Amino acid sequence: MDGQQEDIMEPGDEEMAPSSKDGDPSLDMLALRLCRALVYQDQEKSDTGPTSGVMSAGQAEEPERDVSPSSLMDTCAPSISSLSSSSSHSSHHHPNMSSSSSSSSSALCLTPPLPPSVELPAVLTDTRLTLDVYLGGSGALPLLWGSIPEKLRGVWYLRLGSEDKPGLDGALDVLPFLTELRSLAIRGHCFHDSHGDPLPGLLTTLPTSVSSLSHLVHLDLSFNRLTCLPPCLLNLPELSSLLLCHNHLPALPPDIGQLSSLTYLSVLGNELVSLPSSLGQLKALQTLDISHNLLQRLPDEIGSLEELVKLELSHNKLKQLPESMGSLLSLRELVIFSNDLRLIPQCLNKLPLLKIDVRDNPLGKPPSPPPLPPTPVQRETKIPELHLGFNQHSFSVSSAGCHVFLPGGAELLFPPGCLAKATRLEWVEKRPERKWVRLEEHDLLLSRPLELRPHGVTFLKPVEVCVPYHRTKRREVVVQKFDGQSWSILPTVLRRGSEGHSSHPGGRPARLACCSVRQFSWFMAVSRPVKDSCSVTPAGALLVSSSDPGIKLHFPPDSTVQTRTITLQVLEVSVAEVQALCGDPQASVSSLLCLSQTPSINFLQPIKVQVPLPAGVTGHTVDMSCLHLLHGDPTAQNWTDITSQVSLYVTHLYAIFYITHFSWYWLWYTTQRCVSGVIRKVYQKLKQFRVQFLVLQRKTDPSQVMLQCLPSNKVEGKLQLLLQRYDGPQPSDLCDLLEGEQFFAGFERGLDVSTETPECMGGRLSFVFYSNVENRKEVFICPDQGQKGPVRGQVSFYRGEVPQNLPEEVAKKRKGHDNQWLATLPLKLPALNSDNSFIMEEPQYPPLNLGDPESGYLTEANLLSISLQIGQDWHIIGINLGISYQELDRIKYKHRDDLRGLVLEMLFHWARVQRDAGPGAVSRLVDAMIESKRRDLADEIEDIVSIGRKKYLESLRRVGLEGESSSFGETQQ
């Protein structure tokens, strides 16, 4: 269904459905059948019985913890899925429901409140009633109760929208009579207004008679206007899941502990300032979400929730956590980011399997003093803002200061008084060439170098320079400054950019790495392994890695005479990559430790180093003969096995050894003999990136070509963004490139480059690869002189120097370490017309011509309508249509992110083949649908052909060819 959501009729459009173009009754029938047959596809996964239905409903609501606008847009999806499964269930068990339901729906007069095209089976099955797909649909519940009360008494699952007050009030009066209900959802935000904003729910309370729903297990009242918990809910003995997200609850009732069966409770996005102590009586509770509220403390009774597995407390105002949380032995996930916590209680250390998210808390910082009262002379002055365009590379700043926004997301903040007089300043972004970029071992470039001029100006106050950067995981981001001779690291603060200014129009504010400077220079953002530092005195010290708390350095007393500065970096290593590189499927490695000190002299006492054992290895199972400690020399970049030279022993989880000097250390576990050459090879490979090259042509102008190289893990996402505007060859095979390595792209076989860019020489363009900067160029290509007609050529990528007179067949065979040929991808230019402009290709889907008169009734529009209903069954239908597995795989890869385009390509590919296959194409299509268990589509195709034949015979009759028409009709029969 994911690929078809955009094709489902939106609420409010139903009245338009029957009036199809030109009043064509065949299209009328297609519109109705589309509504009826939405879910043949979701039958197996959504209609699995009452118990699983309740559980899936509860689980489906859990992700709504994310309160970003994008996460709230898809609130109708569960309703559509329910409608789909209901229709499928009804048609599956009642083959003749279609005609009977039509008479039932007309007798029940569902119009209004439901649209004219909606029939009873579309909203009601044996156990499921879905009325939140249509605005005002809740008003149909009293109507149904007045007509078919016995059928409604058997409903287990009910979904109501709460945006229509009259309809909602009528539905609430009927609720107490539906005594078999297991799951009830009364949600707002199912529909949107003309501006695209979600409509709020209008539910403010529930009638006391709802307490009669003794079988109710799941209840969702999210996105409404509740200001208190309806008291009737406390009398529901079987209630297991309760969702009250995004209401206006200031508190929970003191007797909420009566809900003894509750396992899931979410009050996300309310106004709670405290929690009742009776919350600790919910002994069965497994998930509690209280995020996005106003909590300042938690009750001690929260430690009584013995079965609690997940606790969500993010985006509150918590200053401390109670010690009783150490009793939550079942707790596995604690989310407490974006609070005011300055200390994590020691009691949580007793929970070894607990994962804690503590981002955006002032951990370790002293309490903030209260703000000083404003003095009369303090006046808030607003700094003027200046938004520059891509072609504005100079600007003026006066003594009043200025907040300058550069294209791409960068920001410059000049405080008042930083300049004595108005000064003209300039900015420019450099390409990341080796001349401007100096990266340390394992550093990654996150931005283009930003040059601010003139370099000689000295500011009276520090100026804040904020460089936008790409996201990075488990690494720290710093700003580097280049003064013309050397690079230096500046103290860096990370924050989001200002609202209304983003790196992409309409996107979120950019991530900024900010630093304060007194002079302008070159600046860039770099990510590096997290650096932990400490000062070691003669009294000793303990250094714990912030990226992995299991890594510790213990400096005993008298290990040094003078104070030393110690730096620890931890480099995460992929075990799977190591296994592939060394050819040992049993191999496993720890993180790589990079240790340094100032001054660099040996310690007087051995330093104790603790490192977690390699993944999959424990102290009980370790074979000490397979465990190796490697010492690396960062200068010579070689590795030595020092296992026999140090005191190495293991605990259950850690390896411990003692050293007297600092360098690189790496723990390996391998069944093969550990050789330093293998380690050096693996280490060199870890510094390389698996890269794929893209060559894409603009769909509107094939002479414009985009070349780009990306790390292999970013290719899929980038293609998904680009394929709307580009077309062309798929990515090349994987290659290895170092950070900052230069390579070339050359056009060959009748193609030439039409560009004046400096990096283009002799038909080849120069690139420098940086893993986190967009390595992209767009150039215009043209046929070589004298070429006529369409031109097929290629673009090849070469490492280092351009090979001279290297035949293609030789280049393809060079697969060794000195291989300069990386990849070759094809290109095609269409023919030129008399105006020297390209003749674009024919429309992608030509009119149908399946080779027999009967297929003339199956038009291209009909086939398009059928494709909307196929969905995930496309593959089995394609096989039954006789399409080869190879062709289906090609279609799947070409449209891997577009299910609708995939189905269309498959159908029209079959149609093109049928032109030469002789009569009977429609019969073959019908048989394929039946073999694929899609009898609904087979009936629809037969209906289309039947209606088309009837219209054709009537047209013959009108022009006086009735005799011929009758004989033709007999032939077709």
Instruction: Please give the Cα distance from 328 to 314 (Å, whole number).
Output: 18
Say which CATH architecture domain 537-673 belongs to.
Sandwich (2.60)
CATH of domain 849-957: 1.10.533.10
Residue 244: per-residue pLDDT: 94
CATH of domain 385-528: 2.60.220.30
Q: What is the 3-state secondary structure (H, E, C) of 307-355?
A: CCCEEECCCCCCCCCCHHHHHCCCCCEEECCCCCCCCCCHHHHHCCCCE
Nearby residues of 949 by Cβ (< 8 Å), 6 or more positions away: 854, 857, 969, 972
Rounded alpha-carbon distances, angstroms, from residue 916 to 338, 627, 850, 910, 913: 66, 68, 8, 11, 6
Residue 103 has pLDDT above 60, yes or no: no
Q: What are phi and psi of 666, to 5 degrees?
A: -145, 125
**Higher per-residue pLDDT: 70 or 478:** 478
Q: Per residue in 59-74, is it b (16+ CB within 10 Å) or e — as a string?
A: eebbebbeeeeeebee
DSSP H or E stretch at residue 84: helix 77-93
> Do 849-957 and 120-357 fall under one CATH topology?
no
Question: How confident is the model over 252-292, as pLDDT tens digits?
Answer: 999 999 998 999 999 999 999 999 999 999 999 999 999 99
**Which residues does residue 612 pair with via DSSP β-bridges, in sequence order?**
654
Q: Which of 497-506, 601-610, 739-748 has the highest mean pLDDT?
A: 601-610
Instruction: Please give the Cα distance from 747 to 759 (Å, whole number).
Output: 14
Q: What 8-state DSSP symbol labels residue 303? A: G
Question: How confident is the model over 188-199, as pLDDT tens digits?
Answer: 888 877 666 788
**Which residues does residue 466 pair with via DSSP β-bridges, in sequence order?**
411, 514
Question: How confident is the model over 110-165, as pLDDT tens digits?
Answer: 666 777 767 777 788 778 888 888 788 888 888 888 888 888 888 999 999 888 88
Question: How confident is the model over 656-675, as pLDDT tens digits?
Answer: 999 988 888 989 888 877 66
User: What band does 14 get if pLDDT is binned at 50, 70 and 90?
Assistant: very low
Nearby residues of 809 by Cβ (< 8 Å), 6 or more positions away: none
CATH of domain 120-357: 3.80.10.10
Domain 692-802+819-826 coded CATH 3.40.50.2000: no
Give the helix ranges, DSSP H, for 632-728: 676-686, 715-722
Residue 234 has pLDDT above 50, yes or no: yes
State what percent of residues in the chain have pLDDT above 70. Answer: 76
Number of H helices, E strands in the chain: 19, 46
DSSP H or E stretch at residue 627: strand 627-633
Residue 12 has pLDDT above 90, yes or no: no
**Higher per-residue pLDDT: 65 or 886:** 886
Residue 836 has pLDDT above 70, yes or no: no
Residue 955: per-residue pLDDT: 67
Return the domain boundaries, the chain. 120-357, 385-528, 537-673, 692-802+819-826, 849-957
Question: How confident is the model over 935-965, as pLDDT tens digits?
Answer: 888 888 888 777 777 776 776 676 665 554 4
Question: How confident is the model over 837-868, as pLDDT tens digits?
Answer: 665 544 444 445 555 555 556 666 666 667 77
User: What band does 94 get if pLDDT is binned at 50, 70 and 90?
Assistant: very low
Nearby residues of 737 by Cβ (< 8 Å), 6 or more positions away: 688, 689, 691, 709, 743, 769, 799
Mean pLDDT over the full length of the chain: 77
Q: Where are the beta strands (DSSP E) in 411-510?
A: 411-414, 423-429, 444-445, 450-453, 458-468, 476-482, 487-490, 493-496
547-561, 704-718, 830-844: the lowest-pLDDT one = 830-844
For the segment 336-360, the average pLDDT, to the nearest whole number, is 85
User: What band does 378 get if pLDDT is binned at 50, 70 and 90?
Assistant: very low
Residue 723 has pLDDT above 90, yes or no: no
Query: Tokens in use for 269?
Result: 């996005």
Query: Tokens in use for 387?
Result: 């938004």
Residue 585: per-residue pLDDT: 84
Give DSSP secondary structure letters for 780-809: EEEEPTT--S-EEEEEEEEESSPPSS--HH
160-164, 531-535, 689-693, 798-802: the lowest-pLDDT one = 798-802
**Higher per-residue pLDDT: 34 or 662:** 662
Residue 416: per-residue pLDDT: 92
For the segment 630-642, the average pLDDT, to the nearest whole number, is 83
For the segment 878-884, the average pLDDT, to the nearest whole number, is 87
For the segment 680-692, the average pLDDT, to the nearest whole number, is 83
Which amino acid makes up residue 386? Answer: L
Given a contact cutoff of 8 angstroms between Cβ atoms, the answer to whether 797 and 732 are in contact is: yes
Given a contact cutoff of 8 angstroms between Cβ atoms, the answer to whether 965 and 971 are in contact is: no
State what percent of residues in the chain have pLDDT above 90. Answer: 20
CA 402 to chain centre: 36
Q: What 8-state DSSP symbol labels residue 198? A: B
Q: Which of 110-124, 208-222, 794-808 has the highest mean pLDDT?
A: 208-222
